[in-house]
A and B are shown apart, each in its own frame.
Chain A
């Protein structure tokens, strides 16, 4: 092809071959490239400590107060009622009392709407409750009530389905990453994933934010997204590792790889966060817990991809091949 030949002419005084990344940027080039450069690999114990510090309160909270599960998981009835005029919490509580029910009432939208949660009600009990609220709290249009009923047995099914899908997803990812990279990488990435999930769950437990059916979708997407992030960095490590010379240190190579992909990591998190923040602020009540979980997960997913996943690879490699260390003075 003629134009390809023409191109080669322009290449004369630069790279001799057109194959991808035939020459590579040196570690020093990469360091100079970033104004904020610092050695991420050398500071890995700081990241590990930081992550533990972030996880511990969450784990304690998970053990002591657990998660605030919505009726999707534990069963129950939920009514989102748009009243015709302002109502008070006390009136609704009183209406619930009058039919012998307990539950939570949450007023939104300037006291015009109320979200009422209670045990799983049958049709007669439900009618009784709505009639009592009509009478004692305020009138509303029955046609525009949002209502959800989940019997406890169904909730249990959802819970076991959620756990199963998490297990299947982790297994698939573990196999794929071991196959495309190496087992060390797969293990490190799965630990980093669990780290992201634990932090997200921990925060939801600490603040007792409600977890609904869409939450499991968020967790699994965080899984997929965070590993996506990690794989991009691994991919660069794999590429740079092939070009490593005997005297090069593995740690420096990893640090270089992390910094080479830094621009991408930061920018891509920004775009995904833009999308998620839009859903969070504008998407309405029903997608809020989903987008909140995603925002937290994506943020920590990016952090763990940079600071945890590849640093774990370095750490595990270092501990499993002691003799490499002796040959390699740069690594001490």
Chain B
């Protein structure tokens, strides 16, 4: 029995060491690891609010889609690696997050300008602008005996005559369609368009055609957007925050490890060991959910370490009590764990409630904190009642008569 337990213990220690070793790289890799929030690596968080035009017309879902298409177009132009753009139709808002952008100030300026659609000649001279475009929609055309995905465009009366002139003049040439200064399409004029009804061909799918249609329409009908929330952090400052908070993490861990070791001796060592397991589980958990690590998130992680230790303390205090009542080590360890389970469970469910409330009703950055806290509590419940328990049993199994001093209890004879 003794040998079996020693073996199990040794295998576990080696296994944990291996897992930790192979977790470091995938989790901390700047490309594929846990993504860092913009407060840690710099970037911009913008909330744009669509504002009603002068005519007082209601902002429709379509308007929001147009606005989003323009913004997406511009963000793509910025070359940000993983932009996050979200439309909130209820509140008529668009949320943009550009992490890791080198010059956040410039990015905001680019996003802020009003979208402008223009038609230009092959040399790039502006012929007419998008305000004369009445509508653009995606369609399927089968008139030529095959399936063509097209964008049908129609012009206002003023636009009709102007476009007729243009298409007559540039017959056989390419007309550039520009969004701001970026060329998004340059269809060739095959016939003069005199009735104000045109068609652009050559899309590979209906979705693609629809995307362009939205973009053309938004040029014709720009929704005015204003910044209602902006959070901008320079890359240097972000890196500084990251260093500081990692420092705080390391120092907190060292002190907690020492504290447990001094207080509970052998079980303290076990607690420290399972804290390592706990940290690995939490980090993989966060990685799995796809959480973005932010400053509040790190604070939540450090706090959950403090709270994970609490579970061990509840169990160990219980074991000490049982030992003082004169129980054997084995019995005290079993009793400690099974009795403390109810306590640990009750007390942590309540913390989860608070975290849930934060998650459901909190703002974006607070959500990150809440998720970290919830993952932390679940992971600590798991490690405290399973992992720590196995390890403690094996240790006691190796030598059931080892000195109670190792457990932080004065030997009473």
**Which A residues contact B (CB, under 8 angstroms)?**
2-3, 7, 10-11, 14-15, 18-25, 33, 80, 82, 122-123, 141-151, 153-154, 158, 161-162, 164-166, 168-169, 172-173, 176-177, 180, 213-214, 216-217, 220-221, 223-225, 227-229, 231-232, 235-236, 239, 260-261, 263-264, 267-268, 270-276, 278-279, 281-284, 286-287, 290-291, 294
Contact = CB atoms under 8 A, between A and B. Distances in A.
B237 A144 contact: yes
B contact residues, range: 35 or more
A232 B299 contact: no
Contact of A150 (B229, B314, B349): B229
B309 A145 contact: no
Per DSSP, chain A at the interface is helix
Q: Which of B1, B260, B296, B353 has the most CB of A within 10 A?
A: B353
A224 B327 contact: no
Contacts of A216: 358, 362, 366
B228 interface: yes
Contacts of B171: none
A213 B229 CA distance: 13
B373 A221 contact: yes
A187 to B, nearest CB: 15
Given A143-B234, A146-B237, A161 B362 contact: yes
Interface in B347-365: 347-358, 360-363, 365
B299 A272 contact: no
Contacts of A239: 339
B69 to A, nearest CB: 22
Nearest to A235: B343
B17 interface: no
A145 B244 CA distance: 18
A145 B105 contact: yes
Nearest to B401: A10
A278 B248 contact: yes
A274 B306 contact: yes
A147 B230 contact: yes
B363 A161 contact: yes
Contacts of A235: 342-343, 346-347
A276 B306 CA distance: 8
Contact of B252 (A2, A279, A286): A279
A123 B112 contact: yes
B321 interface: yes
B335 interface: yes
Contacts of A276: 302-303, 306
A112 to B, nearest CB: 13
